[in-house]
């Protein structure tokens, strides 16, 4: 999942550079989206792992 998020950020950044945006603005935005996007993917996975652990505990407890 992380590779997909980062690939999308790179492609979007390249498109913005081709369209004529300033490189430092593109760099700042890409870095921001990289942090937010990767954090979102990590948190979603963390939540799913917690749900799986709870299911496993409930299965063995019953």
Read off the pLDDT of residues 5-32 as tens digits, 9 standing for 90 and up. Answer: 888 889 999 999 999 999 999 999 889 9
- Residues with Cβ within 8 Å of 33's Cβ and at least 6 positions away in sequence, in order, are 9, 12
Total domains in the chain come to 1
Helix, coil or strand: residue 11: helix
User: Please, how many CA atoms are within 13 Å of residue 7, restricted to the half-sphere of its CB?
Assistant: 4
- For residue 18, the model assigns a pLDDT of 93
Domain extent for 40: 2-61
Q: What is the residue-averaged pLDDT of the chain? A: 85
Location of structure tokens 């997909």: 4
User: CB of 49 within 8 A of CB of 59?
Assistant: no
- What would the mean pLDDT of 34-53 be, rounded to a whole number? 83
Alpha carbon distance 42, 54 (integer Å): 18
């Amino acid at each position: 999942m992380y590779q997909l998020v980062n690939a999308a950020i790179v492609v979007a950044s390249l498109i913005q550079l081709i369209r004529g945006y300033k490189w430092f603005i593109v760099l700042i935005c890409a870095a921001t989206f990289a942090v937010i996007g990767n954090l979102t993917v990590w948190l979603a996975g963390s939540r799913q792992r917690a749900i799986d652990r709870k299911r496993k505990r409930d299965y063995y407890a019953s």
